[in-house]
Amino acid sequence: MSDTKEPLFNRIALIGIGLIGSSLARATKQRGLAGEIVACARSKATRDIVMELGIVDAVYETPVEAVQDADLIILCTPVSTYADLAQAMSPALKPGTIVSDVGSVKESVIRDVGPHLPDGVHFVPGHPIAGTEHSGPEAGFAELFDGRWCILTPPVGTNAAALAKITTYWEALGSMVEIMTPHHHDKVLAITSHLPHLIAYTIVGTATDLEESQQADVVKFSAGGFRDFTRIAASDPIMWRDVFLNNREAVLEMLQRFSEDLSVLQRAVRWGEGDILEDRFRKTRDIRRGIVDAHQAGTFDAREPDNDGN
Ligand SMILES: NC(=O)c1ccc[n+]([C@@H]2O[C@H](COP(=O)([O-])OP(=O)(O)OC[C@H]3O[C@@H](n4cnc5c(N)ncnc54)[C@H](O)[C@@H]3O)[C@@H](O)[C@H]2O)c1
Ligand SMILES: O=C(O)C(=O)C[C@]1(C(=O)O)C=C[C@@H](O)C=C1
């Protein structure tokens, strides 16, 4: 009798094969989680690259071809494409198929995808809290999800077996799974991910609007904090446009609070109120230390948040 383990899924279809899709393809293949991995990419150039990279078994031009006979479909494109993709692939979906995604916002995804799925198809939205500023199929790597959180936001009434299977899949990719409501997800991510990106895009934009003489020195001396902002501000413009268009309420709420807090610091700088500045900076340093401690205890994130040794 053979002791070869059955893969978790017979056929996984990845709709969109950029940073996240190609990382999923690589990790799924490396860990033997699917009998077959197929993808959908619109351009021939991308399809050629993906086949050359050898990360999938087949790649199709249209979603309806790609999802044929798949038992797991994962949307890995910018979130504004989800409604059209769900509509396009729905005629090929069979009862029992699981549809998931990796989108950075969740309430809009449920709104956009859910109505297009036929009865009996299980929808389990997800979001790996892992990424880089790079995009495209060459940017992916198999270890991306290792030791990172993956948040699942199953709608009320989600099939328990489908939820358990997606949980097992992400855990097999090395992630830690947390389940929450899409509303809670969007609020938390608005402050931990979306606002930081908005601030990075702003500060780098502000620096590039300076007079020419100052601009040259911005580039020359951007070795510290500013350089970190430029990394984040290099993230994909389409993906991030879609995040802000689809998490408007939560981002605006966090932005309002942020602006108020910034005004307090602005006032302290103006009036030389050192105690206010010091108090705030001490509190934030404690928060950072708490995050690192939780990380080292294995309760926050199994990977170093950064490599600065703090
Ligand atoms: N980059 C990150 O850090 C990160 C992290 C977690 C989740 N996400 C989410 O993952 C998703 C994909 O992001 P990414 O970083 O992999 O982006 P990416 O730009 O690297 O890849 C997206 C791919 O989708 C393709 N695409 C766009 N529209 C398509 C369509 N209609 N049909 C088929 N393919 C299409 C693009 O050509 C591109 O190859 C987004 O929804 C994003 O919110 C990104
Ligand atoms: O590390 C990065 O470059 C990221 O921006 C990753 C990051 C994040 O903000 O943490 C970006 C978007 C996601 O939806 C999830 C993860």
194-245 pLDDT, tens digit each: 999 999 999 999 888 887 778 788 878 887 788 889 999 999 999 999 999 9
pLDDT of residue 216: 80
Nearest CA to 258 among 188, 187, 194, 191? 191
Tokens of 282: 């001490």
Q: Cα(first)–Cα(last) distance of the chain, in Å?
A: 52
The answer on pLDDT for 299 being more than 80 is no
Rounded to the nearest angstrom, the distance between the alpha carbon of 131 and the centre of ligand 2 is 5
| pLDDT beyond 70 at 310 | no
Question: Per residue in 243-287, pLDDT tens?
Answer: 999 999 999 999 999 999 999 999 999 999 999 999 999 999 999
By alpha-carbon position, which residue is closest to atom 27 of ligand 1? 77
Mean confidence (pLDDT) of the chain:
93
What is 275-297 written as a DSSP string?
A: HHHHHHHHHHHHHHHHHHHHHHT
ipTM over 0.85: yes
CA torsion sign, 250 to 251 to 254 to 255? negative
DSSP structure string for 218-259? HHHTTTSHHHHHHHHHTS-HHHHHHHHHHSHHHHHHHHHHHH
Domains of the chain plus CATH, in order, are: 9-180 (3.40.50.720), 184-293 (1.10.3660.10)
Query: Closest by alpha carbon to 257, among 201, 197, 206, 195?
Result: 195
Residue 16 in contact with ligand 1 by CB distance below 6 A? yes
